[in-house]
Amino acid sequence: MTTMTLDLSPDTYQRLLVEARQRGAPVEAVAEKLLAEQLAGVHLSERDRATAVLRAAGLLTELSPEEKERAACSTLMLEEARAILDRAGGKPLSEVILEMRGPKE
């Protein structure tokens, strides 16, 4: 492995720090990955582009180690979750969210 020193603007470094925190990875590892992807000409899928935009806007974060562990231990299947929600009754979550948002202006 080769070591390299970069002079980054404060703004670029701050964005790199935010990205590293969101990914839960060291700044150096995130910088290396971003640079490698750019140089390899990796074309991101639509999903990956959407994920990057949401993450940059602060609307998407990585799971904490505890959340990852809890998710790995989960045995609930989608059909079971739907059945539980159906038994609970009430409005679908999408309708609740639309009501909370209020009318479009």
pLDDT in tens, 9-26: 999 999 999 989 988 999
72 falls within a domain: yes
3 falls within a domain: no
Provide the sign of the torsion angle of the four alpha carbons 16, 20, 21, 23, taken in this order.
Answer: positive
User: Helix, strand, coil % (nearest 5) of the chain?
Assistant: 65, 0, 35
Q: What is the pLDDT of residues 77-105, one digit of tens each?
A: 888 988 888 888 888 878 888 888 888 77
4 falls within a domain: no
89 falls within a domain: yes
1 falls within a domain: no
pLDDT of residue 42: 63
Q: Which domain holds residue 88?
A: 10-101
pTM greater than the 0.85 cutoff: no
61 falls within a domain: yes
Number of domains in the chain: 1
- Helix (H) / strand (E) element for 94: namely helix 93-101
Q: Please list, in sequence order, all residues whose beta carbon lies within 8 angstroms of the beta carbon of residue 64, skipping any fewer than 6 positions away.
A: 24
Largest CA distance in the chain: 59
pLDDT of 41 > 70? The answer is no
Q: For residue 31, count other CB atoms closer than 10 A to its CB.
A: 19
pLDDT of residue 60: 86
80 falls within a domain: yes
Which residue type, as a one-letter code, is found at position 3? T
